[in-house]
Structure 1
Amino acid sequence: MKHLYFMPGMAAGPSIFEHIQLPENDFTCHYLEWIIPENKERLTSYVSRLLQQVTHTNPVLIGVSFGGIIVQEMAKQINVDQLILISTVKSNQEFPRRMRFSRLIGLHKVFPTRLVESFEVLSSYSRGVAPKKIERYKKYLSVNSSVYLEWALDTIVNWDQKEPLPGVIHIHGDADPVFPIKYIKNCIIIPKGTHVMIVNRYRWFNEHLPELIVHKGIKN
Structure 2
Amino acid sequence: MTDENTLPLIFFPGLAADANIFVPQAIAFPQLIVPPWPSPETNESLDSYAQRVAEDLRDYGPCIVGGASFGGIVSLHVAKYLDARAVLLIGSIASPDELPTYGRIARPLKRLVRLLPIRMMQWLATPLASNAVRRIAPFSWGLVRQFRGSDPDVFRWSLARILDWHDTPVLDCPVFHVHGDRDRTLPIRYTQPDTVVRGGGHVISLTHADEVNAFIRDAINQINHS
Range of TM-score over shorter length: 0.7 to 0.9
Match of 2:109 among 103, 107, 110: 107
Residues 1:171 and 2:174 are matched in the alignment: no
Q: Deviations over 1:179-219 (max 9, x none)?
A: 111111243111111001111111222334222212249xx
Give percent identity, aligned residues only. 25
Distance 1:120 1:90 in 2: 32
C-alpha displacement of 1:34:
1.1
What RMSD in Å do the two structures reach over aligned CA positions? 2.9
Corresponding residue SS for 2:89: strand
Question: Cα distance 1:121–1:77, how it changes in 2: closer, same or farther (>3 A)?
Answer: farther
C-alpha displacement of 1:136:
7.4
Distance 2:109 2:198 in 1: 32
Paired residue for 1:22?
A: 28
C-alpha displacement of 1:102:
1.6
User: Which ranges in structure 2 are unaligned for 5 or more consecutive residues?
Assistant: 1-5
Do 1:90 and 1:164's aligned partners in 2 also have CA atoms closer than 8 Å? no
Do 1:63 and 1:70's aligned partners in 2 also have CA atoms closer than 8 Å? yes
Distance 1:119 1:195 in 2: 22
Question: Cα distance 1:120–1:95, how it changes in 2: closer, same or farther (>3 A)?
Answer: farther
Paired residue for 1:35?
A: 38
Paired residue for 1:150?
A: 156
C-alpha displacement of 1:135:
5.5
From the two aligned structures, give the one with the greater helix fraction. 2
Paired residue for 2:3?
A: none
Residues 1:97 and 2:107 are matched in the alignment: no
Corresponding residue SS for 1:18: helix
Do 1:91 and 1:164's aligned partners in 2 also have CA atoms closer than 8 Å? no
C-alpha displacement of 1:129:
6.8
User: Which ranges in structure 1 are unaligned for 5 or more consecutive residues?
Assistant: none
Paired residue for 2:13?
A: 8
Paired residue for 1:88?
A: 92
Distance 2:142 2:102 in 1: 28
Count of matched residue positions in the alignment of Structure 1 and Structure 2: 207
Distance 2:185 2:49 in 1: 24
Paired residue for 1:78?
A: 82
Distance 1:159 1:190 in 2: 26
